[in-house]
Structure 1
Amino acid sequence: MEIQLINASLPLEDESRLYAMHAQGGRWTSVAVQDEDVCTANAVRLSDIEGLPETGRPIDLEGRMVLPGFVDAHMHLDKATSIAAVGNRSGTLREAIDNYGAKVAGFTKAEIKQRIVSTALMALSRGTTHIRTHLDFHLNQGREIAFRTMEAALEAREELKGRISLQLIPMCSFERMGAAGVEAAEELLKLGMDGLGGAPHLGSDPKTEISRIFALASRYGVPVDFHADESDDPARRTVVPIAHRTIEYEYGGRATAGHLCSLASMPPGEAGEIIGLMAEARLAAVTLPAVNLYLQGREDCGPIRRGVTRVKELLAAGVPVAVASDNIQDPFHPFGRADLVQIATIASYAAHMGGADELRALLRMITEVPAAIMQLEDYGIREGLPASFVIVDARSVQRLFIEESPSRWVVSNGRWVSAAVRREWSAAAPAVGSAEMPR
């Protein structure tokens, strides 16, 4: 399929210019600054196209922004949309963990796969083309139950290939898994898992747990991605041994720590020392603002801590920071629509980031930064790379965060895969398209 775009804005390149773009055979063949006298006589306006743009004619974007497909570096697709089946009356992290663990044996592989596929496609309709999903591995409940989720995820990844790419990270707890844990984790890697993760701060011996995960991951050459210190307790500092093992195993650029809520509860000086260690280790961070705002601070009477990590301090220290969705409509977080623009907007509130440069940084935190964290090859909008991108109504980064662009047009590997359009919406922009937003 051939795709020709004119009057396109590329805010991650130069927001002051418009671009002409051409893709064929699934890859960009040309991305160039546009001549001021570009001819639009043969072009069709995007706002005049019903549904998916299947036309071979040039498409006039009228200044709309084109972004590389969003990258969600931390989700839980296996649990997504399970809130009705699982529930969480207290809204706490502890009850969410217990309730899901009590229900997991009753979920069939088909149910889990359906949740993964449908939520991934929900994300795709909002512009996300790459997801790293953490997967619960309940080996303590028996091998069949534990591997059911893994098999569902592997089948879902294959079914979604070509539309949205999934990285699969099993959450291993060798403390709960017992002696069979290492052998089972090795089998997962041989089956095709993309890395190893876990939540060592929930165990009684996090340092040993972290060391075991690093040792196994390094043996197979796969990345590690930890849930770290998802707690209001400033004494929770498992990120410190994670950073030390990152240095020891020379895993800089291949190790990630998500959440880091306890950093926000520490005195600035103590937090600064840990952030400096993370920078030295080249340990990446992922902030999950929606879920941490929802879960944290529930035992506080005041002041109430809200759990979102020290985003600005991490950025200032040179730590790569991504923004991600985490949980979608499950016992950990009953809300969410797999929309990274919405999540980045929540991050802007939580981290007090509203300046022009800060909003541009947030945009990179859902595109280029998580792509680097996930070590995605061939990512971006440049000649020769795969044509996977999203078009939004906004003509500027500021407008994107103000309006969150109800309309999205999504292309994956050179194919139009989604057109979520709101004709009646016209805030600071011409009315666009047709069709309803996906549910």
Structure 2
Amino acid sequence: MSCAAGTRRLRIGTPVHQPPREAGAAAFSCAEISSYCRRVLDLLLGNCRLPGGSAPVDLAIAGGRIVGIGPARGPARETVDVGGHLVTPGLVEAHIHLDKALLGDRVSGSAETAADAIRLTAIAKRGFTAADIEARGRRVLDLAVAAGTTAMRAHVEVDPIVHLAGMEAMLALKREYAPAIDLQLCAFAQEGILQAPGTEALLVRALEMGADLVGGCPYNDTDARRHIEIVFALAREFDVDADFHVDFSDEPEHLHVREIARQTMRTGWQGRVAVGHLTELAALPAEEQGTLIGVLAAAGIGVISLPLTDLYLMGRRDERNVRRGLTPIRRLLAAGVPVALASNNVRNPFTPIGTADLAHLTFVTAVAAHMGTPDLVRQLVAAVTTHAARILNLRDYGCAEGSRADLVVWDCDRLDEIVTALPARRLVVKAGRVTVEHERRVIERWRVGGTDG
């Protein structure tokens, strides 16, 4: 009898059982098999150490969800003993540009400012095709999935330069990678809306094609307020969330986030709006900064810090006491504003480096944002898990009973080690199925074999 193509057990775990049957009895009927299979778990992860937990527990998974936490119960199609290692919810990439990733070999010159990066990328975009975008996006998705990312929001540029080629490519990748990652697509107006005639119509078409939300970039347009109004109008028309690139400068010369907060509350879109970068907030005097942070909290706006890009492009004109250029993560968190860390760009004029591994961002931000205490280190992990999931409005996310079984098994025992030690991933689980299994082999020949001569 088989409930699936086969059963599998890794390391130590509860074996897969079959119902008792007397010798010589007739074969199981289809009804008996169906009844039995409903009682078989899809996956049993044994000996898991959960965030905040002390003793290891077993996770029973069926139908893509965690259905039990505690001692192992019932047979499973696949059983894995994780040996007391840490298990967390899957990583959540809250802001990335797959369509303009990996451009190092086709861009000449280095970006000194955000405006330079936009200009250089716009030149490269003239040579983009759907096939090219898909190929580069696939390479980054492979990196992210292997690193434990199970949900991602990708900004897809829609404008008179690239038209809808990015949407075509990303929709194909969304279907292809569905077994491994949930991909949200944001129709994004990088080149502006008013200064790039035809963009609004293209945004509408992208939403009709299946974009999950709409995004804007008011600092790169001729009328920031009208730009913001158009994005909110589209969000309301299609009943989708909105996500803005905003206030990306060393000095508080834009502060468009104030208008975004006003429009958020006017339209009733609290909890459905995110802003990325927001580096200008750090340049405000403490009292004014605190007031604006309070407005963001009241409007239910999530903030996405993009540390690699912001550290790279901000502070370029400072000759002494060079600014770090990060939004004030600690003050935002203290006020109850959810803050995510995200990759933004991978190896292009905005960010010449990148691995699509969100753990690396926690490592960098621990130093750059002075977040080294135990409580702040836990907040850094939350910035690539629970806070990011909240900003993306992911339902049933976490490690509790009833949560979606999107999980990462880490090669460590404690939550803080994700930040402090960058441990390898052992397993990645998506919707209750093991999607990635890492094998690590190190031979210290100097210990066991000595040296010749």
CA separation in 2, counterparts of 1:8 and 1:195? 36
Partner of 1:333: 351
- Indicate whether 1:310 and 2:328 are aligned: yes
2:48 corresponds in structure 1 to 8
Please, which of 162, 169, 174 is the counterpart of residue 186 of structure 2?
169
Shift of 1:254: 0.1
Q: Distance in 1 between matches of 2:193 and 2:311?
A: 29
1:94 counterpart SS class? helix
Query: How many Å apart are 1:90 and its aligned residue?
Result: 4.1
Given the alignment, which residue of 282, 285, 290 partners 2:308?
290
User: Hey, what does 2:95 align to over in structure 1?
Assistant: 74
Q: How far apart, in 1, do the equivalents of 2:185 and 2:398 lie? A: 22
Aligned counterparts of 1:323 and 1:157: Cα–Cα separation in 2: 22
Give the Cα separation in 2 of the matches to 1:328 and 1:76.
Answer: 8
Q: 1:414 aligns with which of 423, 432, 437?
A: 432
Matches within 5 A, 1:253-264: 253-264=271-282
Mean CA deviation greater in 83-92 or 327-336: 83-92
SS at match of 1:84: coil
Question: What residue identity is the alignment partner of 1:20?
Answer: D
1:401 aligns with 2:400: no
SS at match of 1:227: strand
Cα distance, 1:100 vs structure 2: 1.2
Using the TM superposition, give the Cα deviation of residue 57 of structure 1 relative to its aligned residue in structure 2, in angstroms: 6.1
Q: RMSD of the alignment, in Å? A: 2.1
Shift of 1:93: 2.2
Give yes or no for the alignment of 1:62 onto 2:83. yes
- Give the equivalent residue in structure 2 for 1:23: 61
2:154 is equivalent to residue 137 of structure 1: no
The answer (yes or no) to whether the contact 1:407–1:422 under 8 Å persists in 2 is no
Q: Give 1:91 deviation, angstroms.
A: 4.3
- Deviation readout 1:249-305 (Å, 9 max, x if unpaired): 111100111111011122212211211111111111111112111111111112211
Report the Cα distance in structure 1 between the residues aligned to 2:311 and 2:277, rounded to whole angstroms.
11
* Residue in 1 that maps onto 2:177: 160
Preserved contact between residue 66 and residue 405 of structure 2 (Cα < 8 Å): yes
Aligned pairs (5 A) from 1:88-167: 88-139=109-160, 141=161, 145-167=162-184
Q: Could you say which residue in structure 2 is the equivalent of 1:434? A: none
Contact 2:57 2:69 (C-alpha < 8 Å) held by counterparts? yes
Contact 2:187–2:207 under 8 Å retained in 1: no
Partner of 1:46: none
Percent identity of paired positions between Structure 1 and Structure 2:
35
Return the letter of the residue paired with 1:166.
L
**Would the aligned equivalents of 1:73 and 1:131 in 2 still touch at CA under 8 Å?**
yes
User: Between Structure 1 and Structure 2, which shows a larger proportion of helix residues?
Assistant: 1
Name which structure has the greater RCO, CA cutoff 8 Å, separation 6+: 1
Contact in 2 for aligned 1:125/1:408 (Cα 8 Å) = no
Query: What residue number does 1:389 align with?
Result: 407
Which residue does 1:364 correspond to in 2? Answer: 382
Deviations 1:217-246 (A, max 9, x none): 112111000001111022220111011111
Higher alpha-carbon deviation: 341-350 or 400-409: 400-409
Query: Is the alpha carbon distance of 1:91 and 1:425 closer, same or farther for their aligned partners in structure 2, counting shifts above 3 Å?
Result: farther
Per-residue displacement from partner, 1:313-337 (whole Å, max 9, x unpaired)?
1111111111111111112111111
Change in Cα spacing, 1:280 to 1:122, as seen in structure 2 (3 Å) is: same
TM-score (normalised: structure 1): 0.87
Q: Distance in 1 between matches of 2:56 and 2:407?
A: 16
- Contact 2:114–2:248, Cα closer than 8 Å, also in 1: no
Which one has a bigger Cα radius of gyration? 2
What CA distance in whole angstroms lies between the structure 2 residues aligned with 1:107 and 1:235?
A: 33
CA distance in 1, matches of 2:209, 2:266: 27
Structure 1 segment 156-305 matched on structure 2, within 5 A: 156-172=173-189, 173-178=192-197, 180-305=198-323
The residue matched to 1:83 in structure 2 has which SS?
Answer: coil
- Provide the rounded CA distance (Å) in 2 between the counterparts of 1:341 and 1:250: 34
Distance of 1:15 and 1:381 partners within structure 2:
11
User: Given the superposition, is the C-alpha separation of residues 284 and 421 from structure 1 closer, same or farther in structure 2, using an over 3 Å criterion?
Assistant: same
Query: 1:384/1:281 Cα in 2 relative to 1: closer, same or farther (>3 Å)?
Result: closer
Aligned to 1:436: none
One-letter code aligned to 1:343:
L
Task: Say which SS state the counterpart of residue 307 (structure 1) adopts.
Answer: coil
Aligned positions, number? 401
Amino acid at match of 2:58: A
**Gapped runs of 5+ residues in structure 1?**
44-54, 427-439
Q: Is the 8 A contact 2:188 2:203 kept in 1?
A: no
The superposition leaves residues 86-130 of structure 1 with CA deviations (integer Å, 9 ceiling, x where unpaired) of 244244322221111112121221110111122112101000011
Q: Which amino acid aligns with 2:55?
A: R
Distance 1:384 1:425 in 2: 41
Question: Equivalents in 1 of 2:298, 2:402: separation in Å?
Answer: 34
Are 1:91 and 1:331, in contact at CA under 8 Å, matched by a contact in 2?
no
